[in-house]
Structure 1
Amino acid sequence: MKLKVRGVARFYYATCYSIKGLKAAFKHEPAFQYEVIAFAVLFPLAFWVAQTATQWALLVGSALLVLILELINSAIEAVVDRAGTEFNELAGRAKDLGSAAVMLGLMVTGAVWAGIIIDNQGWL
C-alpha cells in the first residue's frame, strides 16, 4: 500500500504536477497557445482599461477563466482520445460540451471587457 504524501511535500508535488500540466497544454494544444498569447496582451491592457481594483480583477479573472476552461476541455479530449479511436456518440458529445464551455468563457470575457470599457467611457 502506497502512503499518501502530506504537508509541504504534498503542496510541492501538486505544484510540480500543475506546472507539468501547463507545459503539456502549451506544447500540445494550439488553442491553449493562442489563448496564452491573448492573455499576455490582455493582462497589461487591463492595467490601462481598469479604473478600480474590482474592474482589474474582473478583466484579468475573465481572461484567466478562458485558460482554465481550455485546460479542462483539453483534459476531456485527452481522456476521450485515450479511450479509443472508434466513433462513439458520447465521446463526441463530451468533446463538444468541453468546446462549448470554452466558447461561453470567451463570450463572458468579451462581455466583461466590453461592459467595463463602455462603462468607463460613459457611453450608456
Structure 2
Amino acid sequence: MLMQQIRRVRQRAIWSWEGVVHVYRTEGSLSQWLVANAAFAVLAFALPLSASERGFLLMGGIIVLAAECMNTAIERVVDDIGTDRRAAAKQAKDCGSAAVAVTAMGVGVGWLCVIVGLIWA
C-alpha cells in the first residue's frame, strides 16, 4: 500500500514537471517571469529582510509562475476545442491572462510594502 502511494506521488511529480517543461518551451512569458524571479530572489537575499518577508516575496514569485501555467492550460483547452474566433474563447484567454497580471500586481504590492517598510525603518 505504501509503495503504491509512493509510485502515485512520483508519477504526479513527473506529470507536473512535464507540464512545467511544456510551458517553458511554448510560452516565452514563463521565461520572462523566471528571469524576473531570479532578479527578485537576488534582491530578496541582498536586502536586510526578515525570513518571513523573504519567504513571502519568494512565494509570490512562484505563485506568478503557477498562474502562468494555469493560463497556458486555459489557452490549450480553448485552442483544442476549436480555432474559430468566438467571443467566449477570447474572454477565457483574456481572463487567464488577467489572472497572471492580477497575481503579479499582488506580488508588486508586497514588494512595495516591504520596500516602504525598509525605507521608513
Same fold (TM over 0.5): yes
C-alpha displacement of 1:50: 4.9
**Identity of aligned pairs, percent?**
30
Report the equivalent of 1:31. 29
CA–CA distance in structure 2, aligned partners of residues 75 and 96 of structure 1: 13
More helix by share: 2
- Match status 1:101 vs 2:71: no
Q: How does the TM-score come out when normalised to structure 1?
A: 0.90
Distance 2:38 2:16 in 1: 20
Q: Distance in 1 between matches of 2:101 and 2:70?
A: 13
| Cα separation, 1, equivalents of 2:49 and 2:30 | 29
Identify unmatched segments of 5+ residues in structure 1.
none
Distance 2:47 2:108 in 1: 14
2: CA distance between counterparts of 1:111 and 1:49?
17
In the TM superposition, 1:14-29 aligns within 5 A as 14-29=12-27
Distance in 2, matches of 1:41 and 1:76, equals: 28
Size of the aligned set, in residue pairs, is: 119
Task: Write the deviation string for residues 5-59 of structure 1: whole angstroms up to 9, x where unpaired.
Answer: 9400001100111111111111000111111111111112211235211101111
Aligned to 1:122: 120
Q: How does 1:1-124 map to 2 (within 5 A)?
A: 6-122=4-120
